[in-house]
């Protein structure tokens, strides 16, 4: 992940963008855990709410992969269809890990 390019797209300094990304990861992991819990309990409404939160935050930061997955989860949850959502949640978990690894470089 190129933080410099992402920061430039948003009109931010790299340090500012990284600080916001770190905050996103802190809050996003909680949304992701709540999303996992909602799916495990077959609660489509809660899944829609938490995926909506992830979608908005990731979209604002230009994290397109997470945004698209969260959007798909939200859409499917609103249709009360949680089939395959757990797999997408695992992919978002991996996206978070990739961002963390990029931050450590």
pLDDT of 105 reads 83
78: left (phi over 0), alpha (psi -120 to 50) or beta: alpha
User: Nearest to residue 89, comparing CAs of 47, 60, 46?
Assistant: 47
| pLDDT per residue as tens digits for the range 3-44 | 999 999 999 999 999 999 999 999 999 999 999 999 999 999
pLDDT of 1 reads 80
| pLDDT per residue as tens digits for the range 62-105 | 999 999 999 999 999 999 999 999 999 999 999 999 999 999 98
Q: What global pTM score does this model have?
A: 0.92
């Amino acid at each position: 992940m190129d933080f410099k390019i992402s920061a430039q797209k948003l009109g931010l300094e790299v340090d500012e963008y990284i600080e916001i990304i770190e905050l996103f990861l802190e809050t996003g992991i909680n949304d992701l855990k709540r999303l996992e819990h909602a799916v495990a309990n077959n609660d489509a409404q809660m899944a829609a709410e938490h995926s909506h939160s992830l979608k908005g935050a990731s979209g604002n930061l230009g994290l397109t992969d997470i945004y698209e997955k969260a959007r798909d989860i939200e859409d499917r949850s609103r249709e009360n269809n949680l089939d395959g959502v757990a797999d997408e949640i695992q992919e978002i978990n991996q996206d978070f890990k990739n961002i963390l690894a990029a931050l450590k470089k």
